[in-house]
Amino acid sequence: MAVKPFKLALAGLSAVGLAALAACGEAPSENGGDGNADASFLACMVTDSGGVDDKSFNESSWAGMEAAAEENDDIKVEVKESSSETDYDPNLQAMVDNECNFIIGVGGLMTENVNTAATANPDTAFATVDGFSEVENVYSIQFDTAQSAFLAGYVAASQSKTGTVATWGGMKIPPVTIFMDGFAAGIEQHNTDKGTNVELLGWDAEAQEGTFLNSFEDTAAGKSTTDTFISQGADIIFPVAGPAGIGALTAAAENDAVNAIWVDTDGYESTEYGAELITSAEKGLANAVKDSVLAAYEAANGGEAITGSYVGTLANEGVSIAPFHDFDSAVSADTKAELEALTQQIIDGTLTVESPSSPAAQ
C-alpha cells in the first residue's frame, strides 16, 4: 500500500506535465463568433436509425441542412438521431417543443409519425424524405432514382465483356430496390435495342427478389458477396448499400477485369476507388433538402407556403448519372449518343422506367 500513492503521484505528475505542454498555447481574442446563433429561423431534422454519419441518406440530408445554413445566415439547423422507429415520436415532439420552424423527418418509415406530428401542429412546416404524405403542411421529398439507375444499367450492359453484370442491396427497402429495378430495366433496354444478351445477377425485377446483405455497414460481407458474383462471371458490379458497397469496390480493385458503378453520390469523388468506377447513379438528396429549407425560410418570411411534393427526376436534375471520368474514352460515342436520346425520351415521357418502389404521387 505504501508504494501505491507514490506511483499514483508519479502518474499524476506526468499527466499534468503532458497537459501543461499542450496547454501553453496563446489565448484567442474574447467572444468569438458562434455560427448562426442569432438566426431567426430554426430548421430541424430527425434522422432514421442510421444516424447523421451513415454515409448514406441521413448524412446527405444533413449535408443539405448545413448547406442551407451556410447560404443563409438567418437559418440555424439542428438534428436529433433515432436509434429505432420507437424514437421517432419523442424526437419529433422534442423538435416541436423546441419551436422549430421547419421539421424534416428522414426515411419513408417515419412518414406516418411526421403526419401525426404535422396534424397536431398545423402551423409548423414539415417535410418527409423518401416518403409521400398528403397532409397539407407536409412537403414530400422523393426521388425517381429508377431513372438514373436505368441509364447506369444501360451503360453497364454496353461495357460488360462477359455478358454478365451483378447488383446487390443493403436491405430490401424501396429506396434500395428502386435502383435495382431501374438498373435491370436499363440492361433490358440495351438487350432489346442492341440485340445483346447481357444477364443480371442479384436481382429479379419481376419477382422482386434478390441478394441483400441486411446491413449497410458490413463491407466484409459486401466483398464476399461481390467475389461470389465475380466467380459467376460478372464483370460490372452495382452495389446499392451505402458504405457496405465499398466491399464491392475493394473486390473490383483486386480484379483487373472487374469494374463497378456507385450509387447515391459521384463515387469518383466520394470514395477512394475512382479508378474502378465507370459511373454513378446519383440522387440529389443534399440539394433537394437544401432547397426545401431555403423555400421554407422564404415561406416563413412572407413567401409562398411550401406544400405538395418534390420528385427528383432526370427532367429537374434531381437524379442523374455521374460523368465517366477515367472511363470517358472507354464508353463509345454511340453509347453516349444513345444515353442522350434515352434521357430525352424519359424527360418527355415517351419512355417510362417502372418500379413498384417509384414515388407514390407524381
**Residues that bind other proteins in the complex, under the rule CB under 8 A:** 19-20, 22-28, 49, 78-81, 83-87, 89-91, 93-94, 97, 108-109, 112, 120, 171-174, 177, 214, 356-357
Q: Which is nearer to other proteins, 101 or 189 (CB)?
A: 101
DSSP string, 261-297: EEEES-HHHHSS-GGGEEEEEEE-HHHHHHHHHHHHH
Q: Which is nearer to other proteins, 56 or 343 (CB)?
A: 56
Measured from the CB of residue 90, what is the shortest distance to other proteins in angstroms? 6
Cell readout for 221 is 460481407
Measured from the CB of residue 133, what is the shortest distance to other proteins in angstroms? 13
Phi-psi region of 302 (alpha: psi -120 to 50; beta: other; left: phi over 0): left
Measured from the CB of residue 285, what is the shortest distance to other proteins in angstroms? 17
Measured from the CB of residue 278, what is the shortest distance to other proteins in angstroms? 29
Measured from the CB of residue 253, what is the shortest distance to other proteins in angstroms? 30
Q: Which is nearer to other proteins, 78 or 298 (CB)?
A: 78
Q: Which is nearer to other proteins, 146 or 151 (CB)?
A: 146
The closest alpha carbon to 57, from 176, 180, 168, belongs to 176
Strand pairing category for 209-210 and 277-283? unpaired
Q: Which is nearer to other proteins, 185 or 261 (CB)?
A: 185
Q: Which single residue is written with the C-alpha cell 445554413?
A: 69
Alpha helices per DSSP H over the chain: 3-22, 57-71, 88-97, 111-120, 145-159, 174-194, 219-231, 246-254, 267-270, 285-300, 333-348
What residues are paired with 143 via a beta bridge?
A: 312
Between CA 172 and CA 178 the distance in angstroms is 10
Measured from the CB of residue 75, what is the shortest distance to other proteins in angstroms? 16
Q: Which is nearer to other proteins, 112 or 227 (CB)?
A: 112
Q: Which single residue is written with the C-alpha cell 450492359?
A: 157
